[in-house]
Chains A and B, each alone.
Chain A
Amino acid sequence: MNTARHFEPEDLALFAMQLLAQDEAAAVAAHVEQCGACRQSLTEVQGDLAAYAHTVDLHTPPAEARERLLKQVAREKKTIPIDRVPEKQEPEQETIPLASYGRGLGRGAYLPEEDAPRHSPAGRVLPWLGWAAAAALAFAAGNLYQQRDALRSIIATQSSTMNQAVPGVAAARQVMEALTDPTAKRVVLNATPPEKPTPQGRATYVASRGTLIFVADNLEPLPPAKVYELWLIPASGAAPVPAGTFQPDAKGSASVLLPTLPKGVEAKAFGVTIEAEGGATKPTLPIILAGE
């Protein structure tokens, strides 16, 4: 692919689905950053994908998931930092706007009454002031107005900073800068040993006898009520033939020896999928292991 040319919609669709290789994706990201036409095409593709995503059958998440989320939300709510205005303020002028800003409101909007802190000095004092305090309140309101403007300015600055800090935007910018930087060091990296052993299977198959021996290592443990299932993919293009189910042991090893198979079926490939206990008659994607 070439960053100097527009990208084909086919490539933008793959980019949107994060299916391009890293270097190709970086090239598209850099191009889209600067090309309005491709950005528009990408936006349309994203819309198509959003619509397509809604074709799934709907399932209700477990009730515990909601509870877990809200507990986490409550935990993190306590840790939201509260920024402070450097100038010393009168207590009744300081509490409401600073608290609202600290909680992320920060756009000069007044808090709804029910959202105001319960310990607000204004809330305690107001019922007792009456008409005699009207002048003082008017003065306070003027100060609040000025303070609101000051906060608006702060928030505008911080919003700008936050927008720049949105990781996706920052990442795209960094990609573009790195790709076009003539001083950048370019290094080709070769494969290094994986952090964990890669699952691997070895099948030995004699078509004329219908004899199959399959051994696998480093398999991941299965969810409850699931099994791995081995499939023979016929060279004739016929439907995959189930060739036995199996469970890995504690070390991730498993084998299928001499499953019942018709004789004389030439194999194009073998594959392993995860199926419900008892096995399936058709393979369920994704294919965990595949080999020809």
Chain B
Amino acid sequence: MYRETGLVNSPPPSREEDSVLLGQVRQGNDQAMAALYDRYSKIVYSVALRVLRDPSAAEDVLQEIFMQIWRNPGGFEATRGSLGGWLAVVSRNGAIDALRRKRPMDPVDELTLPSGYDLANEAERNSMMEKTREVVRQLPLEQRKTLEMAFFDGLTHTEIAEMTGDPLGTVKTRIRSALMTLRKALTA
């Protein structure tokens, strides 16, 4: 049975609908903005909360990201892949920035996702989330922990190597291997 996806209480979205909503946001339509928020606030907030472990700080990241969309809806283009995937990674990066107390968040994250991941489609997203969780659960413990430390805790490979006592190369390889296993499973 699928776990909660954060997309309940909304009709099944599609990438096309996302682009339509973004187009309406570009026109200054605040209702479209609210619809995008209702669609993706859970994943954005959850990723930030996982990184920061602080609801208030996660809420700040959430607010900042959606205000970026409002101010510059052109910052995301359909060619960059799915809006949901983009937002998840932007949320992670923004939260890591907040964690490090770095500079304020960049207005947009210049990243592009492959078109194979249609995270805006609810059914596909549900399936992908379940599959991804299962793949991650089955990763070797060292790979799983290393990827988690790098992605969700924002630890550099040097920091991870110092903490685990593993060589730098091993840390990098574990991250890479974990991501490759994930990719193969999702594209199989």
Contact surface of A with B, Cβ cutoff 8 Å: 8-11, 13-14, 16-20, 42-62, 65-66, 68-70, 72-74, 76-77, 80, 100, 103-106, 111, 115, 159, 162-163, 166-169, 171-172, 223, 274, 284-287, 290
Contacts and interface: CB of A to CB of B under 8 A. Distances in A.
Contact of A53 (B34, B97, B114, B151): B151
B45 A274 contact: no
Contact of A68 (B6, B63, B70, B179): B63
A57 B186 CA distance: 19
Contact of A168 (B99, B106, B186): B106
B21 interface: no
Contact of B117 (A20, A50, A171): A50
Contacts, number: 216
Interface in B129-164: 129, 132-133, 136, 147, 149-157, 162-163
20 contacts: A10-B173, A10-B175, A13-B176, A14-B150, A47-B81, A49-B151, A50-B113, A52-B136, A52-B147, A53-B91, A54-B125, A56-B152, A65-B45, A65-B59, A68-B63, A100-B27, A111-B27, A166-B75, A167-B107, A285-B149
Nearest to A61: B45
Given A19-B154, A47-B117, A50-B89, A77 B45 contact: no
Contacts of A111: 27
Nearest to B49: A59
B40 to A, nearest CB: 11
Given A17-B150, A167-B106, A285-B153, A43 B114 contact: yes
Contacts of B55: 62
